[in-house]
Structure 1
Amino acid sequence: MPTKPTIFKRATVARSRLFRADEIQLRFSNGEQRTYEKLCSGGPGAVLIVPLLDENTVLLVREYAVGIEDYHLALPKGAIDAGEDLLQAANRELKEEVGYGARKLQFLKKINLSPAYMEHGINIVLAWDLYAERLEGDEPEPIEVVPFPLADVLSLVMRPDVCEGRSIAALFLAREWLAGRLPLTSPVVTPEASVDGQ
């Protein structure tokens, strides 16, 4: 295993409402020095949910993405609010974006978006045994919910309107876990909310 470089200087070079960019000066174990910039995360993190309506139907959402200046089909996701753990956040976001809560939740994996220059990551959570419950979210317009057969995930990810790498990775992780090919140590969690969310 290589020796990690030493950080000998760090400074914030830009800040916006959503992002902070730091300049980091590193010295590698062979003496080489480099300056890198990275986007730093803020807050407690984020979740991306793979909601299963039944054993073979995944629920996706169609929403506008300003990065590509178009609508795309992806899995529901959102920030973890202060005071929430990642499974509570997953269940809340599911209710806000899809109109369902989950009786069962399973953390699958945390993935990084672009580790070469971004600190940001997202926690992938599988949700099933769903029940109807809607919470008001912060979306600027109603979100279209699109059911799709999980068994046909390969044709789904090849569609031109499915372009988000996080959702593609999550769909394949979910498929592998459901097939028993993804060993996990974290337990399935059953939220304490009743069927009607009370």
Structure 2
Amino acid sequence: MSDPHKRNPVHLSVETMAHDKSKPEILKAEIVAESRLFKVESLHLKFSNGEERVYERMRGGNRGAVMVVPLFDVHTLLLVREYAAGTHSYELGFPKGLIDPGENAFEAGNRELMEEAGFGASSLTLLKQVSLAPGYFSSRMDILLARDLYPEQRVGDEPEPLEVIPWPLNRIDELLARPDFTESRSISALLLASKWLAEQGN
């Protein structure tokens, strides 16, 4: 029996990682399904080695999205509990939403924070822009850290009021172990915020 590793050898090195590979050529792109929120796009691709494949990806709008990690004080984060239709359950996470036309990420983050948590932020810091399942989704999300909070409530599009939950920073391991804190972007945001705060000496 032949060794599959010999047919497709993988060479791991820093040089390989740093190499900027040529992206596949898009021979054809077409929308094959569409809903109120998403479009399914079929891509006929030709790779640099001559292989051709048809991929599908989900396309939202071009608005982008934000997630905000609110720092209530030097010891406490704010979480929201919100219904998640995908899992038909209530999940803990951070305020999030789409960037509206005419907004930048910071303006959108502050608005979402006011709508979902009842606070505005005097200081917003971009921690990282992340993707979600980039093999299938084209959308990206900016993760922001919100500090110097002040009370301000705005009306959003939530069907019911969200529960706002203060969470001590010294109980992050407990939060990560909870069965209702599973959303990958919220986990990424928590770890990025923790790293940023540690670097600031907090």
TM-score (norm 2): 0.88
Matched with 2:134 is 115
Matched with 1:59 is 78
Alignment of 1:17-28 (within 5 A): 17-28=36-47
Instruction: Structure 2 unaligned segments of length 5 or more: list them.
Output: 1-18
How far does residue 43 in structure 1 lie from its aligned partner after superposition? 3.5
How far does residue 8 in structure 1 lie from its aligned partner after superposition? 0.7
1:104 is aligned to 2:123:
yes
Per residue, is there more helix in 1 or in 2? 2
Q: Which has the larger radius of gyration?
A: 2
Identity %: 52
How far does residue 56 in structure 1 lie from its aligned partner after superposition? 1.6
One-letter code aligned to 1:126: L
TM-score (norm 1): 0.89
The partner residue of 1:88 within 86, 103, 107 is: 107
How many residues are treated as equivalent by the alignment?
A: 181
CA distance in 1, matches of 2:176, 2:138: 26
Alignment of 1:1-198 (within 5 A): 1=19, 2-180=21-199
Could you list the runs of 4 or more consecutive aligned residues of structure 1 that deviate by over 2 angstroms after TM superposition?
Answer: none
SS of equivalent to 1:179? helix
Instruction: Structure 1 unaligned segments of length 5 or more: list them.
Output: 182-198
One-letter code aligned to 2:49: N
Deviations 1:21-47 (A, max 9, x none): 100011011100000000012031110
Aligned-pair Cα RMSD in Å: 1.0
